[in-house]
Amino acid sequence: MTPRRDAFYSAYRYPAAVIAHDVWLYSCFPLSLRIVEEMLAERGIVVNYETIRR
């Protein structure tokens, strides 16, 4: 039996979908962490670039 994806993110402040989207943006495109932070802010998700780095 494989564990649910949400179980891996249970200790985090943001939902698993937001974390996965952040990782996807940062790893698939040549974007800086600050640009990812600004892109999320445009969608109404306020997150610090240090949080994305972690």
**Is the sign of the CA dihedral 11, 20, 43, 27 positive or negative?**
positive
Secondary structure string (H, E, C) spanning 17-33: HHHHHHHHHHHHCCCCH
Q: Would you state the pLDDT for residue 26?
A: 80
Q: Would you state the pLDDT for residue 33?
A: 82
- Comparing CA positions, the residue from 35, 11, 10 lying closest to residue 25 is 35
- Tens digit of each residue's pLDDT (9 = 90 or more) over 1-52: 455 666 666 666 777 787 788 788 888 888 888 888 888 888 888 887 787 7
Q: Would you state the pLDDT for residue 9?
A: 62
Q: Would you state the pLDDT for residue 1?
A: 47
Q: Would you state the pLDDT for residue 3?
A: 58
Helix and strand numbers (H, E) in the chain are 4, 0
pTM for this prediction: 0.61
